[in-house]
Amino acid sequence: MSTFVDVILPVPLAGHFTYSLPASLISLAKAGCRVVVPFGNKRTTTGLIAHIHQTQPEGVELKEVLSIVDASPIVLPAQLALWQWMADYYLCSIGEVFKAALPGKLKGVSSTLHTPLSTLHSPLTLPLLSPAQSSALSQIQEQWQQHAVCLLHGVTSSGKTELYMHLIAEALASGQQVLYLLPEIVLTSQLTSRLQAVFGNRLGVYHSKFSDKVRGEVWQQQLSDAPYDIIVGVRSSVFLPFQRLGLVIVDEEHEANFKQQDPAPRYNARNVAIMMAARTGARVLLGTATPSFESYFNARTGKYGLVTLTERYGQVSLPEVEIVDTMELRRKRLMQGAFSPRLLEQMHDALDRGRQVILFQNRRGYAPHITCHICGWVPRCPRCDVSLVLHAGANRMTCHYCGWSATVPAQCPNCENTDLRSHGFGTERIEDEVQAAFPKARVARMDLDTTKTRSAYEDIIRRFSLGETDILVGTQMVTKGLDFENVSVVGILSADTMLNQSDFRAYERSFQMLSQVAGRAGRRQEQGKVILQTMSAFLPLLQQVTNNDYISMYQEQMLERRQFSYPPFTRLVFVYLRHRHLSEVELLARETALRLRHLFGTRVLGPDEPPVGRIAGQYLRRMMIKLEPSLPLQQVKQRLWQTRQELLTMKTFTAAHIYFDVDPL
């Protein structure tokens, strides 16, 4: 009898690919081992064995497996099952999940494996928990008796991280592994040192700023008989093998960064981690000062447990938020560049007292716009429907969507005017202006441009922690869960771009972002101060931020969510259509709309042009499907996938792309 293998290939085509197994390889083949197989025109590719069986598919001639890469499986059955779930849920191929999951160049068994210690460095003689923390700890454990998932809603600096560490120690003591998910790489360096002080090298770190080699080693270590007990990582760590997972911590669970946008799988690592835990019976703790509506809704309706911490550790008061109306100040010509007199005064005061300042501006680069003030010319990306951003240090204008860039022209290509002007403020310009206004201060900037390498961001964080920098300017990277003890003032230079978004989540997001950035101030000693500059000082949202009133914000917004049938009352699926030609994408959009309306009626909205209608030379159209909870989700998704297959096999649309974003953020 012949033997066959179903192989997962790293391609966007659905399903497995069956190959026959030569007799010489039969004894070596195991599910979870990689194989080299012929694929396409005279090419070979590496895939993963999903099943081994004796059923010959009918009517096709099978190619043979060329070789087997691994002596033992590098992917465990539980991982394969989870990946299949991801492919089904997020409407992509399991091959795309496989491609995203495996670190490139995963080597055979590595000889340089670390040997994790079997004892704690300093077993729980750490800080003692405060009464509020102890009570939260026992409440969490109680909640876990009835709910697999517990949401910890604790204000910024309430000591959530300390609580996590206690829970980790307990899990380790009972022989379990822990996955600790963070939304952002910059957070891993601070947390890693905090955890390493207690757990030593039982801790492994996993993220994309590590080389393929290091990530491959972590993967192999997890398969060995001495795996890391704790993995700290960003979203891709949900792909790692775990042999005895007992606890998953998702810190800053509300963060949109847990969702992968491009390419597929467009998964939410928080939700995948919850699913992964459910499969192994592990408990989950979601922690945040500003819960996502989805999680808070689940907690209020009894699906998750809920535990709250309402005070900062050490009875430090939450920072005082002061709203500064920049509209008024601009009219009176009192603004100095991006700075209000009030912000400058507070910064001077803080620096005089030897304290530190964080300034948040949600745009990188020098200025978001360049124009010719004579003829109105604006440089635009040739490949995307966006204008280019000025990066003054490099003297370039850059597209933030596709990375295209060019030298800033000396004169306007339209009218030869040599006085091109830039408008608006990015972090690079803020850094320049701060340095000019505070010549003696040591200023650093943290954004995508200054953190290209791991050592670069680690340096910025370390120097600021040690007080070697006085003022840290940054994008949303500085708003997340960083813990600096000496920051007394946080300046939000402009809340307006955020507040003016039209997305149904804009309100929720703005609240989260503003509360998080405010939360970096005054974490240890005296009460901190937040100066929030805005042209929309009248918005009720700002009062809710000032009062740290999450619940009012949630209740008010939930009325709108219900009225307009948005999540968490419905589930959304975006359907994206992409083509190199405008006429083709429009044709495809009409045809797709017709078919989807036939299946799902008025639940289908669009097609529309997304906010940026052309990226990297490809035109985009988008449709939104709102699914009420009573619908059989899996059936709906099968229909969607089928519709995609039908459309893509039509001759007209062979060069088109159709893809889905399930639970988009």
Distances (CA, A) of 547 to 69, 296, 551: 59, 19, 11
**Separation CA 113–CA 218 (nearest Å):** 8
CB atoms within 10 A of CB 433: 19
Our CB check for ligand ADP shows the closer of 16 and 523 to be 523
**Contact status, residue 532 vs residue 322, Cβ threshold 8 Å:** yes
375 binds Zn ion (CB under 5 A): yes
Pull the structure tokens for residue 189.
Answer: 């360096």
**Contact status, residue 113 vs residue 217, Cβ threshold 8 Å:** yes
**Separation CA 371–CA 363 (nearest Å):** 18
Residues that bind ligand ADP (CB under 6 A): 127-130, 133, 154, 156-162, 313, 481, 483, 523
The residue within the footprint of Zn ion, chosen from 86, 381, 490, 589 (CB under 5 A), is 381
404 binds Zn ion (CB under 5 A): yes
Of these partners, Zn ion, ligand ADP, none, which one is at the site of residue 320 (CB under 5 to 8 Å by kind)?
none
How would DSSP label each residue in 17-56? EEEEE-GGGTTT--TT-EEEEE-SSS-EEEEEEEEEE--P
User: Nearest approach, Cβ of 166 to ligand ADP (angstroms)?
Assistant: 9
In sequence order, the 6+-apart residues with CB closer than 8 A to the CB of 112 are 217
Of these partners, ligand ADP, Zn ion, none, which one is at the site of residue 159 (CB under 5 to 8 Å by kind)?
ligand ADP
CB atoms within 10 A of CB 36: 14
Of these partners, ligand ADP, Zn ion, none, which one is at the site of residue 133 (CB under 5 to 8 Å by kind)?
ligand ADP
Q: What is the 3-state secondary structure (H, E, C) of 530-594?
A: EEEEECCCCCHHHHHHHCCCHHHHHHHHHHHHHHCCCCCCCEEEEEEEEECCHHHHHHHHHHHHH
Q: Which residue is nearest to ligand ADP (CB)?
A: 127
The residue within the footprint of Zn ion, chosen from 383, 396, 442, 639 (CB under 5 A), is 383
The residue within the footprint of Zn ion, chosen from 412, 434, 518, 593 (CB under 5 A), is 412
The residue within the footprint of Zn ion, chosen from 13, 26, 197, 374 (CB under 5 A), is 374
The residue within the footprint of Zn ion, chosen from 55, 243, 310, 414 (CB under 5 A), is 414
CA 147 to chain centre: 25
Of these partners, ligand ADP, Zn ion, none, which one is at the site of residue 494 (CB under 5 to 8 Å by kind)?
none
Short-list 653, 655, 530, 539, CA closest to 589: 653
Our CB check for ligand ADP shows the closer of 483 and 549 to be 483
Our CB check for Zn ion shows the closer of 377 and 504 to be 377
**Separation CA 329–CA 535 (nearest Å):** 9
Our CB check for ligand ADP shows the closer of 73 and 305 to be 305
**Separation CA 314–CA 525 (nearest Å):** 8
User: Nearest approach, Cβ of 446 to ligand ADP (angstroms)?
Assistant: 18
User: Nearest approach, Cβ of 363 to Zn ion (angstroms)?
Assistant: 16
The residue within the footprint of Zn ion, chosen from 97, 338, 372, 656 (CB under 5 A), is 372
Provide the terminal-to-terminal Cα distance of the chain, rounded to the nearest Å.
50
User: Nearest approach, Cβ of 299 to ligand ADP (angstroms)?
Assistant: 17
Our CB check for Zn ion shows the closer of 23 and 410 to be 410
Write the single-letter amino acid at 630: S
Of these partners, ligand ADP, Zn ion, none, which one is at the site of residue 497 (CB under 5 to 8 Å by kind)?
none
The residue within the footprint of Zn ion, chosen from 401, 504, 566, 569 (CB under 5 A), is 401
Scanning 65-73, 355-363, 365-373, 482-490 for contacts with Zn ion by CB under 5 A, the matching segment is 365-373
In sequence order, the 6+-apart residues with CB closer than 8 A to the CB of 638 are none
218: exposed, middle or buried (Cβ count in 10 Å: 0-12, 13-18, 19+): buried
User: Nearest approach, Cβ of 295 to ligand ADP (angstroms)?
Assistant: 16
User: Nearest approach, Cβ of 404 to Zn ion (angstroms)?
Assistant: 4
Number of residues in contact with Zn ion, rule: CB under 5 A?
A: 15
CB atoms within 10 A of CB 119: 8
Scanning 247-255, 380-388, 494-502, 576-584 for contacts with Zn ion by CB under 5 A, the matching segment is 380-388
DSSP, res 58: T
Our CB check for ligand ADP shows the closer of 127 and 611 to be 127
Scanning 60-68, 207-215, 296-304, 366-374 for contacts with Zn ion by CB under 5 A, the matching segment is 366-374
Our CB check for ligand ADP shows the closer of 48 and 181 to be 181
In sequence order, the 6+-apart residues with CB closer than 8 A to the CB of 494 are 326, 338, 361, 362, 425, 533, 534, 535
User: Nearest approach, Cβ of 162 to ligand ADP (angstroms)?
Assistant: 4
The residues of the shown chain that bind Zn ion, judged by CB under 5 A, are 372, 374-375, 377, 381, 383-384, 399, 401-402, 404, 412, 414-415, 417
